[in-house]
Homo-oligomer: A and B are copies of this chain.
Amino acid sequence: MSDALRATIKVACSNCNLRELCMPMGLLPQELERLDNLVATRRKIKRGATLFRTGEAFGSLFAVRTGFFKTCVTSEDGRDQVTGFQMAGEIIGLDGIVNDRHTCDAVALEDAEVCVMPFERLGELSREVGALQHHLHRVMSREIVREHGVMLLLGTMHAEERLAAFLLNLVQRLHARGFSGSELVLRMTRQEIGSYLGLKLETVSRTFSRFADQGLIDVRHRHVRILDVDALKALLPQPGVA
């Protein structure tokens, strides 16, 4: 097989093992082929490099193929807030649509690869393919709902509840991608976790230690094993029958 052919096959949504999680979800075979044509290019990003930065012109949405990203907004005096962590199959760049400029940075936390989806063409195609139009709307709506959840977390939860919610969310998403439902390797630092959860890195570290002392998890730096899922879930704000 030639390199060119391999690349063509590899990039095709129709052959992608993420197709049930990612943009092609629910599309018919002939619609899928049109999406294949649209997703013409991929892009590799090294660990620590940015996919885009605040202020850069917006042109495309990106679907994570491999690797792990964080997105963060930065205020001019240096305070920054991680707004999300993205893994395979998830869409990055929606923030850029409104003003044709990105309003956050997207940074690869490990060597990564993304599919580049020119937004103009995505719009054209979604005018003809109803399923794609609806899927795009759902992707944006899902992001809005996710952020509501983060607001609830930041606005009302204590450190232990925040970290429990964070860990459970991560393993759940990893599990949906075929990884373990109880073991995970953190791709981000304590500082980045803290930024996402509105806590200082020391508080994140202390809370990890407390969970370990209570026998809820086993932490060894970036490696976390969940020992008592139910106890972690019990920390979340959905305990009673209410």
Residues of A in contact with B (beta carbons under 8 Å apart): 73, 75-81, 83, 94-98, 103-104, 123, 126-128, 130, 133-134, 136-138, 140-145, 147-152, 154-156, 195-198, 237-240, 242
User: Do B150 and A151 touch across chains, with their CB atoms under 8 A apart?
Assistant: yes
User: Do B147 and A147 touch across chains, with their CB atoms under 8 A apart?
Assistant: yes
Which one, B77, B134, B148, B242, contacts A238 given CB within 8 A?
Answer: B77
Q: Is the interface of A mostly helix, strand, loop or mixed?
A: helix
Most chain B CB atoms below 10 A, which of A144, A147, A154: A144
Which one, B81, B137, B149, B150, contacts A97 given CB within 8 A?
Answer: B137
Which one, B96, B147, B198, contacts A156 given CB within 8 A?
Answer: B198
User: Do A98 and B154 touch across chains, with their CB atoms under 8 A apart?
Assistant: no
Q: Which residues of B contact A75 (CB under 8 A)?
A: 152, 156, 237-238
